[in-house]
Amino acid sequence: MAFTDSSLTMSDQRYYYSCERVRMFEKLLTPSDVGKLNRLVIPKQHAEKYFPLDVEAAEGGRGRVISLVDESGDKLWQFRYSHWASSQSYVLTRGWSRFVKEKKLDAGDVVQFERRGGRLYIGCRRRTVGDGSLLAAVHDTYHAGDGDPTNGEVEIEETMSERENSHRFRLFGVNLLENWPEAE
């Protein structure tokens, strides 16, 4: 089924097509985002800014359904979006596992959220490996709780030459590489 804008009036179409897509935020996927938990945790600051829940929906745990157009424009994705009081997390649930499966997403890939006019878009980007230039260049913000001096911001950027002098370690359930100084 192709997603079209035929339901828009002519003036709505002129407005819609005159708008550029605006990137709202990106999320670096963790193993739990693409695993058997069937949910995507949305960082708190992005959830509250771009997908605010009314008090009744948030407290009842029901949440709401949000519709996002595939970045290619040919498919409409619907997800259940809610707030889990037990973990103070904002999550996409129903529909998320189907998106992960169809897009063949893995930990380390990036999902991006954009807006154009009144429409929301979802896209994804596979992590880059083996081309000798950039292994990963992602700036992603996580809500890491009170007292975190970095406010939960994690930036990962590594070239293949840096990788040669690196060792693996895990952070937030993701395998990362740590640079060690060379012996002199």
Domain coordinates of the chain in residue numbers?
A: 21-125, 136-179
The reported pLDDT for the residue numbered 137 is 38
2: pLDDT confidence band, cut at 50, 70 and 90?
very low
- Helix ranges, 6-75 (H): 10-18, 31-34, 44-50, 55-60
Task: Compute the average pLDDT of residues 44-53.
Answer: 89
133: pLDDT confidence band, cut at 50, 70 and 90?
very low
Q: What are the tens digits of pLDDT across the range 109-129?
A: 999 999 988 899 999 998 876
Residue 148 has pLDDT above 70, yes or no: no
**Which strands form 64-70's sheet, in the order they lie side by side?**
22-28, 110-116, 119-125, 64-70, 76-84, 89-92, 40-42
Distance between CA atoms of 112 and 125, rounded to whole angstroms?
8
Q: Which two tokens stand for residue 87?
A: 């973990």
* pTM of the complete model beyond 0.85: no
- Helix ranges, 84-154 (H): 96-103
Residue 182 has pLDDT above 80, yes or no: no
Q: What are the tens digits of pLDDT across the range 149-181?
A: 333 334 444 444 444 444 565 666 666 655 545
State the chain's mean pLDDT as an integer: 72
62: pLDDT confidence band, cut at 50, 70 and 90?
confident
The reported pLDDT for the residue numbered 45 is 92
Q: What are the tens digits of pLDDT across the range 92-110?
A: 999 999 999 999 999 999 9
Q: What is the architecture, at CATH level 2, of domain 21-125? A: Beta Barrel (2.40)
Distance between CA atoms of 42 and 126, rounded to whole angstroms?
19
